[in-house]
Amino acid sequence: MFFGEYQVSFQKEKNRLALPAKVRNQIKGEEVVLAQGFDGCIFGYEKGEWQKFTNRELAGSVTEKKSRQIRRHLFSGAAVVSYDSQGRTVIPQNLVNYANLIDSLATIIGAGDHFEIWNNQEWKKYLETNKQEVW
């Protein structure tokens, strides 16, 4: 299970960041699936959890507009990426653009069955904006 909040360095010139050890310890193997999340973040899934997650989404009918929209959103930008022994991985450019990763810091948060990669400032804004709804 993924939990916690981590500030990590993001090397914009290489689109590279290092996954924290506490995140890596929850991943089987050395590959993860990254995809366009919701609210402007990148979803990160262990490959087996991605399969479970997408099976639920694929259960929706392709004849339903909302189901098609969600499929297109999730699958069109998804990529399997590997990371090295220090946790460094390269984020595909389309996902860097989607999450607006422009600063030298990014935020990685645990979200239960997956982790999320956020633009540091966008994460702070999200927390401030949504704290009333959560509590």
Mean of per-residue pLDDT scores for the chain: 94
pTM of the model: 0.93
CATH number at residue 93: 3.40.1550.20
Based on the structure, what is the number of domains in the chain?
1
Domain boundaries, position 65: 5-134
pLDDT by residue (tens digit) across 92-134? 999 999 999 999 999 999 999 999 999 999 999 999 988 877 6
- DSSP output for 54-113: HHHHHTS-TTSHHHHHHHHHHHHT-EEEE--TT-EEEPPHHHHHHTT--SSEEEEEE-BS
Name the one residue in this structure whose structure tokens are 């239960």.
112
